[in-house]
């Protein structure tokens, strides 16, 4: 398999060649259109001014047919070019994403500081995991992707099914790019469906009026034909026809303002349905094997019939674009009433199915984003399922440009608390975030950023790493941290299989009180059999391993080498860190200030 960057660049070059070829063919067809149209006009003029030959009029029609065929071919080439241009824009964005320049929506509307983990580990927001993954083209897809990245502990069956779907889509690179190149549908379809429901419109009078008008019209046409065949006076049928036209026109004008608002919403709804058609057509062409994708495709094919009906209704609305056609169609068959009646009937049978269709398209949209993330990270690996706890080897952060490994072989048993110490900037917090993000990716069905990674599929996640004060509500940093810890304990009690990740707890108090409080907190966690990982600068906490043993507490550390410059290994080992860098770096900074003077 090609490397992502190599694949994108080669496809970009090929598409540029194809675009030039389509432009050349389009130019040729354009010249052909002008030529055959001019020849057709010339033949028509010769027939009109010189001779009334059948050959000339026949030639005119033949050249016009060739002209229309050239128009058809030219439109095909224009559509091909537009499609290739859209695909190239997608590829160029993917190249930017590979360089860490994320161009997709960042999902900041999904951010919540009260969520168990998304706020602490940058799931949403600028340069977040969501932004690096997001390739969705529908609102439902964006919502589904946010939902996927916001839940863990989904169970073995769900995760394995997601892995199969994402892995299958990962191999379909051309299909994924073509899907992403579809026009972005930014309108919240679900909200629009609710707004367009004409529940207050009583269609029974419409049905009665249509039935009456059409019955009288058909009877009058039959009567007119009989009069013509029997050489009788046609005065009565003509007067009846005039009365029908007056009746139809009056009723149409009466319902014009009443139904205009519904019809305008219907037109917008139909245009939105048309925007989903390319996605559905593209999905229908593929042959899938994974259960999730097969289910999505089957439901899309079944429910898309409602979109076809909506598009067919649009043809009836085209009469409104021309006043004369609109007047004639309403005067004869009351086309507006027919559309209103059809729409209400369609709405009652289609809305529920369309909701299901949109959810399926959104789910497909989200999985295509996840599969693209997989394709763009060839070094990542598919996680394995463990019965309990988790095990990672050389975990690395999915959003780090360098992808340097953080930690070595690391195993976290359930009901065990890991205590991680290390100097500033040694990699503690990055390791915690990388570990948490890999759990999220694993539950999403994605590859994870590690040489190997195994986790309990029922494992929930709760973090406390980025607590903030709230001055407007009179809440100090310490109060906010205590509230977060209280929520963490409640969550862990309600969800026994929970990994609790803490980064430097009780920062809002003095050192002695902080150490005492941290020890009491960890002893409480151990008593409640809460699985936790805590990063701390308080070396006094590490004595818990000696007191209670490795069945309860295990010490890990990120060590540094105090050289010039300082060497950060970003490797985690068993034990307690020995070297510290705060005073070392501060002294070097102060000495540099003194030398300047």
420-460 pLDDT per residue, tens: 998 888 888 889 999 999 999 999 999 998 889 999 999 99
Per-residue pLDDT at 308: 74
How many Å apart are CA 175 and CA 181, to the nearest integer?
10
Cβ neighbours of residue 582 closer than 8 Å, sequence gap 6 or more: 423, 424
Give the helix/strand (H/E) hosting 390: strand 390-395
Pairing mode of beta strands 390-395, 406-412: antiparallel
Per-residue pLDDT at 115: 94
Give the helix/strand (H/E) hosting 515: helix 511-527
Tokens of 567: 């060497």
Highest mean pLDDT among 275-284, 316-325, 451-460, 565-574: 451-460
Q: Which of 375-379, 391-395, 433-437 has the lowest mean pLDDT?
A: 391-395
Half-sphere exposure of 286 (CA within 13 A, CB side): 25
Q: Which of 102-111, 317-326, 372-381, 534-543 has the lowest mean pLDDT?
A: 317-326
Q: Which of 54-58, 374-378, 415-419, 433-437 has the lowest mean pLDDT?
A: 54-58
Which pLDDT band holds residue 468 (cuts at 50, 70, 90)?
A: confident
216-247 pLDDT per residue, tens: 888 878 888 888 777 777 888 788 888 888 88
Per-residue pLDDT at 408: 79
Instruction: Tell me if 347 sits within 8 A of 198, measured CB to CB.
Output: yes
Per-residue pLDDT at 303: 73
Per-residue pLDDT at 122: 92
Residue % of the chain over a pLDDT of 90: 42
Of residues 365 and 400, more confidently modeled: 365
Residue 230 exposed, middle or buried by CB count within 10 Å (0-12, 13-18, 19+): exposed
Cβ neighbours of residue 119 closer than 8 Å, sequence gap 6 or more: 111, 112, 113, 466
Tokens of 441: 């990716």
φ, ψ (nearest 5 deg) of residue 552? -115, -45
Q: Is the peptide bond before 546 cis (omega within 30 degrees of 0)?
A: no
Tokens of 277: 């058609």
Which pLDDT band holds residue 276 (cuts at 50, 70, 90)?
A: confident
Per-residue pLDDT at 494: 93
Question: Average of pLDDT values for 44-62?
Answer: 82
DSSP string, 109-171: GG--TTSSSTTTTTSSSTT-HHHHH----BHHHHHHHHHHTT-----HHHHHHHHHHHHHHHH
User: Is the pLDDT at 596 greater than 70, yes or no?
Assistant: no
User: Is the pLDDT at 402 greater than 70, yes or no?
Assistant: no
Mean pLDDT of the chain: 84
Of residues 169 and 579, more confidently modeled: 169
Of residues 594 and 17, more confidently modeled: 17
Per-residue pLDDT at 188: 56
Question: Average of pLDDT values for 149-176?
Answer: 95
Per-residue pLDDT at 49: 80
Instruction: Tell me if 376 sits within 8 A of 98, measured CB to CB.
Output: yes
Query: How far is CA 24 from its chain centroid?
Result: 36
Per-residue pLDDT at 401: 62
User: Is the pLDDT at 388 greater than 80, yes or no?
Assistant: yes
Q: Given the structure tokens 């001055």, which residue do they identify? A: 471
Per-residue pLDDT at 510: 78
Q: Is 270 left (phi over 0), alpha (psi -120 to 50) or beta?
A: alpha
User: Is the pLDDT at 273 greater than 80, yes or no?
Assistant: no
Question: Average of pLDDT values for 570-576?
Answer: 88
Reported pTM:
0.82
Question: Average of pLDDT values for 532-553?
Answer: 92
Per-residue pLDDT at 569: 81
User: Is the pLDDT at 508 greater than 80, yes or no?
Assistant: no
Per-residue pLDDT at 582: 65
Per-residue pLDDT at 477: 74
How many Å apart are CA 191 and CA 182, to the nearest integer?
21
Residue % of the chain over a pLDDT of 70: 88
User: Is the pLDDT at 305 greater than 60, yes or no?
Assistant: yes
192-223 pLDDT per residue, tens: 555 555 445 666 777 788 788 878 888 878 88
Per-residue pLDDT at 184: 75
Per-residue pLDDT at 148: 96
Q: Using alpha carbons, select from 283, 302, 275, 276 the residue that is nearest to residue 364.
A: 283
Give the helix/strand (H/E) hosting 533: strand 531-535
Per-residue pLDDT at 294: 93
User: Is the pLDDT at 473 greater than 90, yes or no?
Assistant: no
Q: Given the structure tokens 């990120």, which residue do they identify? A: 558
Per-residue pLDDT at 258: 64
């Amino acid at each position: 398999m090609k490397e992502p960057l190599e694949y994108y660049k080669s496809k970009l070059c090929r598409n540029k060649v194809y675009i030039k070829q389509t432009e050349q063919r389009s130019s040729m067809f354009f010249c052909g259109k002008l030529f055959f149209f001019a020849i057709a006009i010339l033949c028509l003029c010769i027939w009109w001014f010189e001779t009334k030959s059948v050959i000339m009029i026949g030639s005119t029609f033949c050249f016009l047919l060739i002209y229309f065929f050239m128009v058809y071919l030219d439109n095909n080439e224009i559509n091909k070019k537009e499609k290739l241009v859209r695909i190239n824009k997608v590829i160029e964005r993917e190249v930017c994403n590979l360089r860490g320049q994320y161009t997709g929506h960042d999902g900041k509307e999904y951010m919540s500081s009260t969520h168990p983990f998304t706020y602490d580990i940058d799931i949403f927001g600028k340069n977040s995991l969501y932004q690096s993954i997001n390739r969705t083209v529908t609102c439902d897809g964006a919502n589904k992707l946010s939902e996927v990245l916001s839940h863990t502990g989904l169970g073995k069956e769900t995760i394995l099914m997601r892995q199969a779907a994402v892995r299958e889509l990962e191999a379909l690179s051309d299909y994924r790019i073509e899907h992403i190149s579809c026009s972005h549908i930014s309108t919240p379809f679900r909200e629009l469906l609710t707004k367009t429901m004409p529940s207050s419109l009583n269609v029974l009078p419409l049905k009665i009026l249509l039935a009456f008008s059409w019955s009288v019209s058909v009877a009058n046409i039959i009567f007119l034909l009989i009069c013509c065949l029997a050489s009788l006076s046609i005065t009565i049928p003509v007067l009846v026809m005039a009365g029908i036209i007056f009746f139809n026109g009056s009723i149409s004008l009466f319902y014009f303002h009443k139904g205009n608002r519904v019809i305008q919403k219907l037109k917008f709804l139909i245009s939105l349905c048309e925007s989903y058609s390319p996605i559905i057509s593209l999905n229908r062409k593929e042959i899938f094997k994974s259960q999730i994708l097969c289910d999505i495709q089957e439901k899309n094919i079944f429910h898309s019939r409602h979109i076809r009906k909506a598009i067919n209704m649009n043809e009836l609305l085209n009469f409104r674009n021309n006043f004369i056609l609109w007047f004639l169609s309403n005067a004869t068959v009351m086309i507006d009433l027919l559309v209103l009646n059809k729409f209400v009937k369609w709405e009652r049978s289609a809305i529920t199915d369309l909701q299901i269709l949109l959810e399926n398209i959104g789910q497909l949209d989200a999985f295509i984003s996840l599969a693209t993330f997989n394709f763009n990270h060839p070094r990542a690996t598919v996680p394995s399922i463990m019965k309990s706890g988790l095990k990672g080897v050389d975990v690395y952060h999915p959003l780090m440009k360098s992808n340097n490994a953080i930690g070595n072989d690391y195993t976290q048993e359930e009901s065990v608390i890991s205590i991680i110490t290390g100097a500033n900037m040694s990699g503690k917090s990055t390791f915690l975030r990388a570990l948490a993000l890999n759990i999220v990716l694993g539950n999403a069905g994605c590859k994870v950023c590690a040489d190997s990674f195994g986790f309990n599929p029922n494992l929930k996640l709760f973090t406390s790493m980025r607590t903030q004060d709230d001055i407007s509500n009179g809440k100090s940093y310490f109060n906010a941290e205590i509230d977060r810890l209280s929520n963490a304990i409640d969550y862990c009690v309600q969800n026994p299989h929970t990994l609790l990740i803490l980064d430097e707890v009780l920062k809002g108090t003095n050192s002695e009180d902080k150490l005492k409080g941290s020890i009491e907190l960890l002893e409480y966690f151990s008593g409640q059999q809460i699985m936790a990982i805590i990063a701390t600068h308080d070396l006094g906490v590490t004595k818990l391993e000696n007191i209670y043993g490795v069945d309860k507490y295990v010490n890990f550390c990120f060590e540094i080498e105090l050289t010039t410059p300082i060497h950060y290994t970003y490797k985690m080992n068993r034990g307690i860190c020995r070297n510290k860098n705060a005073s070392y770096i501060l002294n070097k900074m102060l000495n540099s200030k003194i030398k300047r003077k």
